[in-house]
Structure 1
Amino acid sequence: MTEKLRTIIVEDEELARNLMKSFLADNDAIDLIAECENGFEGVKQINELKPDLVFLDIQMPKITGFELLELLEHKPQIIFATAYDQYALKAFDYNAADYLLKPYSKDRLDEAIQKVLERIQTEGKESDVAEKVSDFPKDEYLDRIVVKDRHKIHIAPVDAVRYIESMDDYVMIYTNDGRWMKQKTMKYFENALNPKNFVRIHRSYIVKVDEIEEIQQYEKESYIVILHDKTKLKVSKTGYKNLKGVLNF
């Protein structure tokens, strides 16, 4: 007998959870170890229990399924289950094992589980879905940033972000309410933030345009920006060109 897949359901609708549990009950491949009714709980349980497989709803209160993936330290196989077909392409771009469109049949669910078993056999248990989330589609812009800080999850509206600083494999996000570290690249935020509102001024800094109070020259062809709170940030040559393009000077 093959080892069972330790499985978690993350789904905010009780009826949908109960239906999925009834479908999974007689599937010999599944060991259901937890069910979560929101993304906050999902992040906690996935990181603590380290399942092999997660059935993940996308549209949930508090944080979405895609935002949940950004906060995972453990990387299980993912099967999305949602009533919204517009997310299907994105789910496969992220390399999800499968995508169940509600309402789905027991046979369709069993087929998705079989795909996971085959994938684990060829590729191993760890999934790269969370890494793929970093390739943010260029035709969409973030309206909020979700950050995990120890045992708390913060949701920062993009409007509250003042600037972002590079910290090797992480970035520090400075907001009106504090600062948080997130494991993302500067390139990710350069693509994911609206270029009308945010500008890359240096390899280490992305700044909200409305936060800039002044641009000062301090050496030949060297500049700094001064923000409203008097924070000073370096500007590179490319960053200066970016500023001229955004501010039209």
Structure 2
Amino acid sequence: MKIRTLLIDDEALARTLVQNFIKADPDFEVVGEAADGFEAMKLITELKPDLIFLDIQMPKLTGLELLELLPEPPIVVFSTAYDQYAIEAFEKNAVDYLLKPFSRDRFSKALSKIKEKIEAKVDTKEEIKNLLSAPLHPEKPLERIVIKDGSKIEMVPFQDITYLETYGDYVWIYTEKGKFLKQKTMKEFELLLPSTFLRVHRSFLVNITCIQKLELYEKNSYQLLLKNGVRVGVSKSGYKELKETLGW
């Protein structure tokens, strides 16, 4: 049975190159191509491929953002021009990748590795989850959060976020336009969001630009009053962080 493969890259020449390389191996069959993340998500839902070759840097929706929206991602081989720091993240999490530009020989090795994983019935979901929780560019903080809200995809710029609150294995993201639920840990958001966000409590991560004032709630207990009128609990460690960060 052939390994059903979907090619996802915004560059037509890049898709053609992979198409030509993959034809040399009879164990693989290309079932479709997508030029952006939105088109890819539609095709993955419809075609349910076993494998995707995924470019990371794409317009509209990046490859990593696409993966975040997939509840059951297929096996993934990343096609990337990322720097060495990102490559180390791929290798650490045992995720297959092709560094652009890549040769036919390097591509063949990737196909062999995929077949080995399929034969060994390796579950790659944990590898992808670990990669998505790692900041691939520490000097480039997250600029937005992509959320699937029913059939809609919401792009939420980080500056629009007021605060985040833990909710089991999920996190509520509060904005002036409403709140959104994302399956991610607060620790992951701490790593991904810029320094304008501060963990003030085990359950809360706050955009410091949205703080109005710090209030005494009970003896040795404090709350933050946000500019939208919401009050957020502050732990002892959070109080210490606030004093050090904001000079209070």
TM-score by length of 1: 0.89
Structure-1 separation of matches of 2:101 and 2:217: 63
Partner residue of 2:10 out of 12, 25, 30: 12
Q: How far does residue 167 in structure 1 lie from its aligned partner after superposition?
A: 0.9
Q: Structure 1's 4 and 126: CA in aligned 2 closer, same or farther, altered over 3 A?
A: farther
Deviations 1:151-185 (A, max 9, x none): 22222211111111111111111123332111110
Aligned to 2:142: 142
Structure 1 residue ranges without an equivalent (≥5): none
Q: How far does residue 16 in structure 1 lie from its aligned partner after superposition?
A: 1.4
Select between 58-67 and 78-87 the one with higher mean Cα deviation.
Answer: 78-87
Partner residue of 1:82 out of 76, 80, 83: 80
Partner residue of 2:28 out of 24, 30, 46: 30
Structure-2 separation of matches of 1:183 and 1:42: 21
Question: In the TM superposition, what are the counterparts of 1:178-197 in structure 2 within 5 Å?
Answer: 178-195=178-195, 197=196
Structure-1 separation of matches of 2:90 and 2:145: 19
Select between 218-227 and 36-45 the one with higher mean Cα deviation.
Answer: 36-45
- Asked if the contact 1:47–1:74 (Cα under 8 Å) also holds between the matched residues in 2, the reply is no
Partner residue of 1:68 out of 66, 69, 72: 66
Aligned to 2:118: 120
Q: Structure 1's 129 and 45: CA in aligned 2 closer, same or farther, altered over 3 A?
A: farther
Question: In the TM superposition, what are the counterparts of 1:1-249 in structure 2 within 5 Å?
Answer: 3-86=1-84, 87-97=86-96, 99-124=97-122, 126-132=124-130, 133-136=132-135, 139-140=138-139, 141-195=141-195, 197-249=196-248
TM-score by length of 2: 0.90
Structure-2 separation of matches of 1:102 and 1:92: 16
Identity of aligned residues (%): 44
Select between 53-62 and 143-152 the one with higher mean Cα deviation.
Answer: 143-152
Structure-2 separation of matches of 1:191 and 1:4: 39
Select between 129-138 and 51-60 the one with higher mean Cα deviation.
Answer: 129-138
Structure-1 separation of matches of 2:169 and 2:10: 32
Select between 86-95 and 67-76 the one with higher mean Cα deviation.
Answer: 86-95
Q: How far does residue 75 in structure 1 lie from its aligned partner after superposition?
A: 2.5
Q: Structure 1's 26 and 166: CA in aligned 2 closer, same or farther, altered over 3 A?
A: same
Q: How far does residue 57 in structure 1 lie from its aligned partner after superposition?
A: 0.6
What secondary structure is seen at the aligned counterpart in 2 of 1:159? helix
- Asked if the contact 1:137–1:192 (Cα under 8 Å) also holds between the matched residues in 2, the reply is no
Q: Structure 1's 69 and 107: CA in aligned 2 closer, same or farther, altered over 3 A?
A: same
- Asked if the contact 2:95–2:128 (Cα under 8 Å) also holds between the matched residues in 1, the reply is no
Q: How far does residue 143 in structure 1 lie from its aligned partner after superposition?
A: 1.8
Number of corresponding residues: 245
- Asked if the contact 1:40–1:153 (Cα under 8 Å) also holds between the matched residues in 2, the reply is no
Matched AA of 2:218 = E
Q: How far does residue 124 in structure 1 lie from its aligned partner after superposition?
A: 2.5
Matched AA of 1:242 = E
Q: How far does residue 31 in structure 1 lie from its aligned partner after superposition?
A: 2.0
Structure-1 separation of matches of 2:99 and 2:77: 11
What secondary structure is seen at the aligned counterpart in 1 of 2:129? helix
Structure-1 separation of matches of 2:47 and 2:60: 21
Structure 2 residue ranges without an equivalent (≥5): none
Structure-2 separation of matches of 1:135 and 1:23: 31
